[in-house]
Chain A
Amino acid sequence: MLFNSYEFLFLFLPLVLLGYYVVLPKRWRLGFLSLASYVFYGWWDYRFCSLMFLTTVVDYVAALGIHRSRTTVGRRGWLLVSVGSGLALLGFFKYYGLFAHTGNGLASWLNGSPVKVLPELQLILPIGISFYTFHSMSYAIDVYRGVVTPARSFVNFACFVSLFTQLVAGPIIRYRDLAEQLIERTHTLEKVARGLAFLVLGLVKKVIVADGVASLVTLVFADAQPGLLASWAGILAYTVQIYFDFSGYSDMAVGLGYLFGFQIAQNFNSPYQAESVTDFWRRWHMSLSTWLRDYLYIPLGGSRLGVRRTYINLFLTMLLGGLWHGANWTFVVWGGYHGVLLALERAFGGRAATGRFSPLLRRAVTFLLVMIGWVFFRCDTVSQALSLLGGLIGLHGWGVDLLRTQADAIALVMLPIGLAVAWFLPNTWQLRYRFTWWECLLLVVALVICVMVILVNSSSPFLYFQF
C-alpha cells in the first residue's frame, strides 16, 4: 500500500485513526498500530508478513540474549545471530538473483558457451526488506554497544520494526529515537496540525512534482541514444523526480508519525543546495548515511587508521551503500562513484581549496556531479548509462524531436518549478508551522489537487469496471 493511494487515504488511514483515537483504550494502541502495520505491509503480499515477523522475533530474542549474556563470546554470538540472519535474508531475497546471473555470466564467458553454475530463481523482492532489516539490526547492535536497553515488551519492539509510517521507504529509524516515545508520547492538536502540514507538503512533492516529471524521465531513458537536449532534460527531470519522490515520501512518513504522536527525524535537508559532495551526503537520505557511518564506516576503522585506509573505508562504505539501493551493478557503480568523489574531496577539496569559489559555483558543480551519478542510478545497465552520458555531450545529435513531439507539457512545466524549489526555497523542516489564513488556504487547495490527482491516477475510467 502506498501513501498516495486511494485505499490508504480513504480506507486504511481513517480506520486506523478511528481505532487509535476513538475505539481502543490507550494500552492497546501500540498493539493496534503493529497490527495495522502488518495489514499495511500485507496489502502488497500477505506471505511476506511472516518474514518481517521472523526478523522481529529473531532480533528481539537476540537483543535480550546480548543484554543477559555475561560473556563477550555470548554477546558476540547473539549479535552474530541478529546481523547474520538480517544479512542472510536481505542477501537471499535481494541479491541472490544478481550474483547468480553474474556468476553464470562469468562462468559462461570462461567456458566459452552458456553454462549455469547457480540456479536463477524467480524471487520476489519483499518490499521494504532493506529498511526493516536495517531497523532491526541497528537495534541489536545498539544493545550490544550499550547505547540502548532492550525493548520493554515484544509489542513495543514489533511496533518499532513494523510501524507503517516508515516501513517501506524510510527514514531508517534507530530504536533509541523511538524507545521513549513507544512508552509515552503526547497527542496534541499542534502535533496533528504539523503532521497534516507535513503530509500535505509530502503529497505535493510526490504527487504533483515527482509524478509530474515522471513521464519525461520515462521518455528519455527509454530512448537508446537520446540527443543533447533530451538527455539534459531527462537527467534533470530524474534528478528532480528522485528528490521530490523520496523526500516527499519521507515528509509523509514524518507527518503520519505526528498524527500518532511520534516524532520522526529529518531525512532530507535541501541536498541540492549542498556545496560539496560531502555536504550532499550530510543532507541526502540522512538516516541512511548516518546508519552507514555508525554501523559500517566506523567499525571499518573510519578515519582512525590513516589517510589511505580512510579513503578505502569511504569508498567501501559508499560502494556497499550503493548496493543497498538495488541489486544491479549500476547501483554499485553509483556508490563507487560517490565514494571516489568523497575520497577526492577529503584529499583535495577542503575549505581552503574551495573557499575562494563562490557558493553558487560550488553548488552548481556539486549539483552537476550528483546529477551525473543519478544517470547510473536510474539506468538498467552501465552501457545504457554511458550512452546517456554520451547524449549529455551531444554524441547523439540535438534530440529536439523527441521533446517536441512526445514530451508531456506538464512535465516540461514541472521541471523548472521543481528545480527552482530544490535550489532556492526552504525545505519542509525549515518552515514555521504557524500559517496565516492565506497559507492555510493554499495548503487546503494543494491537498484538494493532490487528492484529485490520486483519484484520477488510481482509477480507471467508468467503462468496464464491472466486468
Chain B
Amino acid sequence: MEPSPPQAPKDDPLPRHMRGLLVLLTVCWLAFLAGDWFLRFYWFRWDMALITRPSKASNQGPGAPMRRVELPPSRGGDLTRLIGLAAAARPYEVERPASLDVTDEFGFRNVPPTTNVSYEVVVLGDSFMAHGLHVEETFGGQLARATGRSIYNYAYPGRGPVYPVSRFFEEGRFRARPPRVLVWGLVEREIGGDVLAALPWYLEQGVSQVGAQRTHINITALYPSYLKQALPNTSAAAQAARRFWNVARYRLFGRITPDLAIAARPVAGRSLLFYTPAVRAMRWTKKERDPVHMAEVLAEVSRYCGRQGLALVVVLIPDKEQVYRDLLPDLLTHGLPPLPPSTFDELEIEAHKQGVHVVNLLPAFRSAAQRDALIFWPDDTHWNGEGVRIGAGETARVLAKVFDSFKGGADNESE
C-alpha cells in the first residue's frame, strides 16, 4: 500500500471552541516562556554566566559581614532537600546541633577582627571549604588546629572552585599582607571542563584588567554544549516540575527521587544517601577527565601563584560516591560496565611531575570508609566534621613540607 500522498485537511473552519483554545494556548505558552526566561535572569542570575561585566575589586564576601547568629538545631542536608516531601525525607535526615554562625568584617567565615591581620595560609574553595557547624570546624579552622598556623578561610559557597581563586587575586586585599601559601580545595566532580581549564588564562589576562574590562557577552555561554545543560538547569519551570514529580512519585509509588540512591548497607548505623548524577560522573572516561591536562592547568595556576610570591597546595576532595563506591546499590550498576577507578591517583602523579603540591584525600578517606567511619553527612553531599578533620590532617602534613621548603630556601639564601 502506498503511503497516502499528503492529504489536504478539510477546509471546514475550526469550531469556535477550538479557535478559542488555540488562542488561549498561544497566550499561555508565551506567558510561560516569558516567565521562565525572566526567572532565569532574576532567580538564577543567568546573566552572570552570559555577560561579563567589569569586575569591581570588592572586598565583600559570600555572607553578611560581622554576623554572629546562633542557629537552632536543624535536620536534613542538600540531598534530603531534593526529596521534596518532609515525610519521605525524615527517615534519612540527620540532626545537626545548634551552632554559632560567625563571619568577619568581609563576610567570610573567620572570627573577627581580620582586618590588617597577617595570615600565613589562605584557604580557597567552595562550600566544601566553607562547610562546618562552627568556624572552628571548617577546613580552615581544623587546619589551624592541626598546624598551629594562622589560617584565613576565603571559601565562597555555591560559586564553584574557580571563582574564589580569581576573586582572591582580583580583590587585592592581601597584597599588603600576603600569605605564604594558598590551599585550594577541589571536589572531584568539579575537576574537568572548560571553566577550570580557562582559569590560568583568566589569571594572566583578566585579573590585571579588573575595572578596565568592558561589558561583553560570553560567547561560550551560547555554545550548544553549554546551553543544553544550562537552559533546563536554570529553568524555574523545570525545577518546579522536578519538585512536583518527586512528591507525586513518592505518593504514588512510595519511591524517592531517582536523583538519590540509598547505600546498600548503613554506615555507622546510618542510611547513606548518594547523589545519582555524581555516580554518572564517575563513568566519565579518562579522556573526558583528562588528568594530564588538568595537571597542566594546576601547574599553570601554581606557577602564577609562584610569581605572586605564593605557594599553592591543591587539596583533591573525592566525592562521597567515590569513597563509598562499594556501597553503591545494585540498581546504579546493574548491567553496566564496572565503574572506572578514580583519576585522582593519576592526577596526583601528573601534578607532582609538574611540581604542584597536591593532597590526595582519596586513600585516607577510603581507609576511613573501610573502618566503617562516617566522613560525609549521610543526608548531604558534603563532608562532616570527621571528614574535615581527616582532610585537614592530611593537608597539614603537606603544609609542613611546604613551609620546611621555605626555611630551606631561606637557609640557602643566607648562605
- A residues contacting B by CB (< 8 A) are 1, 5-7, 10-11, 14, 42-44, 46, 171, 177, 181, 188-194, 196, 218-219, 221-223, 258, 263-267, 269, 282-283, 286-287, 290, 406, 409-410, 429, 433-435, 437, 440, 444, 451-453, 455-456, 458-467
Does B277 count as interface, using CB distance less than 8 angstroms? Answer: yes
For the complex, what is the distance from the CA of A410 to the CA of B253, rounded to whole Å? Answer: 9
Q: Do A456 and B235 have beta carbons less than 8 Å apart?
A: no
Given contacts A459-B239, A462-B239, A465-B233, contact A444 B22 (CB under 8 A): no
Given contacts A267-B3, A440-B17, A459-B235, contact A193 B22 (CB under 8 A): yes
For the complex, what is the distance from the CA of A134 to the CA of B244, rounded to whole Å? Answer: 44
CB nearest neighbor in B for A223: B335
Given contacts A287-B3, A455-B242, contact A460 B15 (CB under 8 A): no
Does B115 count as interface, using CB distance less than 8 angstroms? Answer: no
Q: Do B231 and A11 have beta carbons less than 8 Å apart?
A: yes
Does B340 count as interface, using CB distance less than 8 angstroms? Answer: no
Given contacts A286-B3, A433-B9, contact A463 B275 (CB under 8 A): yes
- Please, which residues of chain B bring their CB within 8 A of the CB of A437? 17
Interface string of B222-253 (1 = CB under 8 A from A): 00100111111111011101101100000001
Q: Do B14 and A265 have beta carbons less than 8 Å apart?
A: no
- Stretch of B93-101, B156-164, B166-174 contacting A (4+ beta carbons < 8 Å): B156-164
16 CB contacts below 8 A, A to B, read A7-B228, A189-B22, A190-B13, A193-B18, A194-B9, A196-B25, A222-B335, A265-B6, A437-B17, A452-B244, A452-B245, A459-B232, A459-B241, A463-B275, A465-B234, A466-B158
Other than the known A189-B14, A193-B18, what 16 A-B pairs have Cβ atoms closer than 8 Å? Answer: A46-B224, A190-B9, A190-B13, A192-B22, A437-B17, A451-B241, A452-B241, A456-B242, A459-B233, A459-B241, A461-B82, A462-B242, A463-B82, A463-B275, A466-B158, A467-B190
For the complex, what is the distance from the CA of A460 to the CA of B158, rounded to whole Å? Answer: 16
Given contacts A10-B33, A466-B159, contact A460 B6 (CB under 8 A): no
Q: Do A458 and B336 have beta carbons less than 8 Å apart?
A: no
Most buried by B among A177, A286, A463: A463
- Please, which residues of chain A bring their CB within 8 A of the CB of B120? none
Q: Which of A1, A265, A453, A464 contacts B3 (CB 8 A)?
A: A265
Q: Do B5 and A265 have beta carbons less than 8 Å apart?
A: yes
Q: Do B238 and A458 have beta carbons less than 8 Å apart?
A: yes
Does B11 count as interface, using CB distance less than 8 angstroms? Answer: yes
Q: Do B3 and A463 have beta carbons less than 8 Å apart?
A: no
Q: Do A440 and B18 have beta carbons less than 8 Å apart?
A: yes
Q: Which of A14, A196, A287, A467 contacts B126 (CB 8 A)?
A: A467
10 shortest A-B CB distances, which residue pairs?
A222-B335, A263-B6, A467-B160, A459-B232, A459-B238, A465-B233, A455-B238, A455-B241, A286-B3, A6-B232
Does B176 count as interface, using CB distance less than 8 angstroms? Answer: no
- Please, which residues of chain A bring their CB within 8 A of the CB of B414? none
- Please, which residues of chain B bring their CB within 8 A of the CB of A290? 2-3
Given contacts A10-B33, A190-B13, contact A406 B233 (CB under 8 A): no
Does B19 count as interface, using CB distance less than 8 angstroms? Answer: yes
For the complex, what is the distance from the CA of A265 to the CA of B158, rounded to whole Å? Answer: 51
Does B78 count as interface, using CB distance less than 8 angstroms? Answer: yes
- Please, which residues of chain A bring their CB within 8 A of the CB of B153? none
Does B215 count as interface, using CB distance less than 8 angstroms? Answer: no
Q: Least Cβ distance of A444 to chain B in Å?
A: 7
- Please, which residues of chain A bring their CB within 8 A of the CB of B1? 269, 282-283, 286
For the complex, what is the distance from the CA of A269 to the CA of B1, rounded to whole Å? Answer: 10
For the complex, what is the distance from the CA of A437 to the CA of B231, rounded to whole Å? Answer: 34
Q: Do A177 and B126 have beta carbons less than 8 Å apart?
A: no
- Please, which residues of chain A bring their CB within 8 A of the CB of B175? none
For the complex, what is the distance from the CA of A196 to the CA of B10, rounded to whole Å? Answer: 16
For the complex, what is the distance from the CA of A177 to the CA of B253, rounded to whole Å? Answer: 48
Interface string of B247-265 (1 = CB under 8 A from A): 0000001010101000000
Most buried by A among B14, B19, B257: B14
CB nearest neighbor in A for B280: A460
Q: Do B11 and A10 have beta carbons less than 8 Å apart?
A: no
- Please, which residues of chain B bring their CB within 8 A of the CB of A465? 44, 229-230, 233-234
Q: Do A466 and B6 have beta carbons less than 8 Å apart?
A: no
Does B116 count as interface, using CB distance less than 8 angstroms? Answer: no
- Please, which residues of chain A bring their CB within 8 A of the CB of B293? none
- Count how many chain B residues have C-beta atoms less than 8 Å from C-beta atoms of the other chain: 64
CB nearest neighbor in A for B233: A465
Q: Do A455 and B235 have beta carbons less than 8 Å apart?
A: yes
- Please, which residues of chain A bring their CB within 8 A of the CB of B7? 263
Q: Do B232 and A177 have beta carbons less than 8 Å apart?
A: no
Q: Which of A6, A43, A221, A223 contacts B224 (CB 8 A)?
A: A43
- Please, which residues of chain A bring their CB within 8 A of the CB of B277? 460-461
- Please, which residues of chain B bring their CB within 8 A of the CB of A282? 1
Q: Do A460 and B9 have beta carbons less than 8 Å apart?
A: no
Q: Least Cβ distance of A284 to chain B in Å?
A: 11
Residues of B316-345 contacting chain A, CB below 8 A: 330-331, 334-336
Does B21 count as interface, using CB distance less than 8 angstroms? Answer: yes
Residues of B158-209 contacting chain A, CB below 8 A: 158-161, 189-190, 195
- Please, which residues of chain B bring their CB within 8 A of the CB of A266? 3-4
For the complex, what is the distance from the CA of A437 to the CA of B244, rounded to whole Å? Answer: 27
For the complex, what is the distance from the CA of A245 to the CA of B239, rounded to whole Å? Answer: 26
Does B386 count as interface, using CB distance less than 8 angstroms? Answer: no
CB nearest neighbor in A for B17: A437
Q: Do A190 and B17 have beta carbons less than 8 Å apart?
A: no
For the complex, what is the distance from the CA of A192 to the CA of B21, rounded to whole Å? Answer: 12
- Please, which residues of chain A bring their CB within 8 A of the CB of B18? 193, 434-435, 440
- Please, which residues of chain A bring their CB within 8 A of the CB of B255? 409
Most buried by B among A1, A188, A455, A461: A461
Q: Do B21 and A219 have beta carbons less than 8 Å apart?
A: no
Does B36 count as interface, using CB distance less than 8 angstroms? Answer: yes
Does B8 count as interface, using CB distance less than 8 angstroms? Answer: yes
Q: Do A460 and B233 have beta carbons less than 8 Å apart?
A: yes
Q: Do B6 and A177 have beta carbons less than 8 Å apart?
A: yes
Q: Least Cβ distance of B45 to chain A in Å?
A: 9
For the complex, what is the distance from the CA of A122 to the CA of B166, rounded to whole Å? Answer: 38
Q: Least Cβ distance of A49 to chain B in Å?
A: 12
Most buried by A among B2, B18, B259: B18
For the complex, what is the distance from the CA of A444 to the CA of B18, rounded to whole Å? Answer: 12
Given contacts A459-B238, A459-B239, A465-B234, contact A406 B334 (CB under 8 A): yes
For the complex, what is the distance from the CA of A210 to the CA of B354, rounded to whole Å? Answer: 50
Q: Do A265 and B161 have beta carbons less than 8 Å apart?
A: no
Q: Least Cβ distance of B211 to chain A in Å?
A: 24
Q: Do B2 and A189 have beta carbons less than 8 Å apart?
A: no
- Please, which residues of chain A bring their CB within 8 A of the CB of B44? 465
Q: Do A189 and B19 have beta carbons less than 8 Å apart?
A: yes
Most buried by B among A222, A410, A465: A465
- Please, which residues of chain A bring their CB within 8 A of the CB of B230? 465
- Please, which residues of chain A bring their CB within 8 A of the CB of B14? 189-190, 193, 434
- Please, which residues of chain B bring their CB within 8 A of the CB of A287? 3
- Please, which residues of chain B bring their CB within 8 A of the CB of A440? 17-18, 21
Q: Least Cβ distance of A147 to chain B in Å?
A: 13
Does B142 count as interface, using CB distance less than 8 angstroms? Answer: no
Q: Least Cβ distance of A109 to chain B in Å?
A: 26
Does B103 count as interface, using CB distance less than 8 angstroms? Answer: no
- Please, which residues of chain A bring their CB within 8 A of the CB of B19? 189
Residues of B269-316 contacting chain A, CB below 8 A: 275, 277
For the complex, what is the distance from the CA of A440 to the CA of B231, rounded to whole Å? Answer: 30
Does B110 count as interface, using CB distance less than 8 angstroms? Answer: no
Q: Do A219 and B232 have beta carbons less than 8 Å apart?
A: no
- Please, which residues of chain A bring their CB within 8 A of the CB of B384? none
Q: Do A219 and B245 have beta carbons less than 8 Å apart?
A: no
Q: Least Cβ distance of A189 to chain B in Å?
A: 5
For the complex, what is the distance from the CA of A194 to the CA of B5, rounded to whole Å? Answer: 17
Does B381 count as interface, using CB distance less than 8 angstroms? Answer: yes
